[in-house]
Amino acid sequence: MKNENLSTEKEISGSRIILEAFLQEGVKTIFGYPGGAIIPIYDALYDYKDQLEHILVRHEQGAVHAAQGLARVSGEVGVVLATSGPGATNLVTGLADALLDNTPVVCITGQVFDHLLGTDAFQEIDVMNVTSPVTKWNYQVTDANELSEVLAKAFYIARSGRPGPVLIDVTKNAQLQKVFDKGYTPCEFLRSYTPDPVPDMDYIEKAAFLINKAEKPFIIAGQGIMLGKAEQEFLQFAEKSGIPVAWTVLGMSAIPTDHPQVVGMVGMHGNYGPNILTNECDVLIAVGMRFDDRVTGKIDQYARQASIIHFDIDKAEINKNIKVDVPVLGNCKETLPLLTQLIEVKNYSEWFERFKGCEEIEQLKLINHELYPSSGEITMGEVIRHLNEMTAGEAVIVTDVGQHQMATCRYSRFKHSRSNITSGGLGTMGFCLPAAIGAAYGETQRPVIAVMGDGGAQMNIQELGTLMQYQPDIKILILNNCYLGMVRQWQELFHEERYSSVDIQSPDFVQVAKGYSIPGKKVSQREELEAGLREMLHHKGAFLLEVMTGKEHNVFPMIPQGKSVSEIVLNHTKV
């Protein structure tokens, strides 16, 4: 039968089918690391140098985080290549991070020849069972005839609905095998898979009814707004409604941070007002967020007085953590405009005054001391304040995980969407540097700044080699408090200052960077800070700035674990 179609088919290797699929999907940059089981794909890649840029990372975990950075900034699918065995298992942390943060990534792993599967061959591992819990979908290909269809499904599943990581494991024989291929056809439909539920107007009308009669409504913006590319639709909804808007950590930058309706961030280290007033609002509108435990605090005391409207694309999230009154399933790019048509233009001046009063308390008790200290050690907050003033909200800021992350998310200012790139659900130390490298390939013309702590900086520090080789213009800002700061803070507050294994020694980061041909500077005194930041930002190319911050400073406000959002503390004592 195939011989009759030779005029419309061409003989091509499995490896080339994979690369042709990348081109058809609009991929321009691949992050990866070669090895024995994936050599045929890399051999084919030699002929695609003008069409596909391959970034050789220094560790496969760095490849996934880099792909995440590209995807988070651009909204496109990040792509990774890795070999079998340890190459594949090194992807697991990044896959888990991408799954929890809904980041579209397609990973291609090499595998031993199909006749060796199950024999414990050199660098063989059961990649399917290893990665099944941390992928949206995975599949093993042993015959090149399957590749075009499987890859089309992979990209479709990764980017559609609630995005996530997909892994395709390809045996070496399938990479080498030559088949007659008809060409690549993108996937647009899969049976039994409904990525975009059809909006139910009954629920949208119920949501509008609750909003129109509300006296103290409150909106929480999640990352789903950006994943659905619904920033404009959300802004129109928010502005017509006149309702106060807060965001989750991952929802930050879905709306400009200086918008007059913005009241700050919710969550464990969020702002005072948005947290305590969650338990005073009468209607809570959650858009594209999943009621994570770091947002809700003690679940049985979360917004019990409010009618809750939950916009989400994934039915599994509805009533998973918090019971809601009105579930609105669907892509919020479609559902929000339907709601906007039905809501009334209203003013909530008295309700906004409540937020303003809370903000004044937080400013007086905490923020002024964090952002404008007159003496003592440098605070993380004042570093971010200077950074804001110099970048004017135009930067993409990538953070690692820890105290610096929370300080950066609390105090950064953004004008544009997809500007706050951080590891949310998994909280992966070592995320920042490779993710920043990936973000630089996300076709953004904005400066990319990697903000990390001294602990996380050392977890994927080898990616300085990637930075050296490819020279993306990234600024590295290490806020060094000589501690694993977040763990130390918990040990101080909840474990009687029994500091166990948190006093971390670090190398001379400036000298380490110098070894990778990256210039740097260390700042220890407040008088040097502004000039140091300016030098970093104005330097053409990569630059590392290490800033020594207060060793035992804590990040506040804080909702202690097991407490309700109403029990947020502004310092060591409750307000």
**Token couple for 125:** 């591992």
Per the rule left: phi > 0, alpha: psi between -120 and 50, beta: everything else, 236 is alpha
Torsion sign across C-alpha atoms 527, 381, 242, 221 = positive
Rounded Cα distance between 6 and 2, Å, is: 7
To the query of whether residue 239 is one of the catalytic residues in this protein, the response is no
Rounded Cα distance between 568 and 353, Å, is: 20
Residues pairing with 107 in the sheet: 80, 167
* Domain 2-181 bears CATH identifier 3.40.50.970: yes
Could you say which of 268, 486, 536, 558 is catalytic?
A: 486
Torsion sign across C-alpha atoms 118, 60, 32, 439 = positive
To the query of whether residue 548 is one of the catalytic residues in this protein, the response is no
To the query of whether residue 172 is one of the catalytic residues in this protein, the response is yes
Q: How much of the chain, in percent, has pLDDT values that exceed 70?
A: 98
Q: What is the CATH number of domain 378-552?
A: 3.40.50.970
Q: Would the CATH topology of 2-181 be identical to that of 378-552? A: yes
To the query of whether residue 60 is one of the catalytic residues in this protein, the response is yes
Rounded Cα distance between 474 and 395, Å, is: 11
Local structure of residue 372 (DSSP, 8 states) = S
Q: What is the CATH number of domain 201-353?
A: 3.40.50.1220
The per-residue pLDDT for 8 is: 60
Could you say which of 20, 22, 25, 60 is catalytic?
A: 60
Could you say which of 24, 28, 123, 522 is catalytic?
A: 123
Could you write out the DSSP letters of every residue in 121-150? Answer: -TT---HHHHHGGG-SEEEEE-SGGGHHHH
Could you say which of 2, 10, 122, 232 is catalytic?
A: 122
Show pLDDT as tens, one digit a residue, over the chain (575 residues).
334 433 467 899 999 999 999 999 999 999 999 999 999 999 999 999 999 999 999 999 999 999 999 999 999 999 999 999 999 999 999 999 999 999 999 999 999 999 999 999 999 999 999 999 999 999 999 999 999 999 999 999 999 999 999 999 999 999 999 999 888 999 999 999 999 999 999 999 999 999 999 999 999 999 999 999 999 999 999 999 999 999 999 999 999 999 999 999 999 999 999 999 999 999 999 999 999 999 999 999 999 999 999 999 999 999 999 999 999 999 999 999 999 999 999 999 999 999 999 999 999 999 999 999 989 999 999 999 999 999 999 999 999 999 999 999 999 999 999 999 999 999 999 999 999 999 999 977 899 999 999 999 999 999 999 999 999 999 999 999 999 999 999 999 999 999 999 999 999 999 999 999 999 999 999 999 999 999 999 999 999 999 999 999 999 999 998 999 999 999 865 43
What's the pTM? 0.96
Domain ranges across the chain: 2-181, 201-353, 378-552
Q: State phi, psi for 103 to the nearest 5 degrees.
A: -105, 125
Q: Specify the length of the chain in residues.
A: 575
To the query of whether residue 216 is one of the catalytic residues in this protein, the response is no
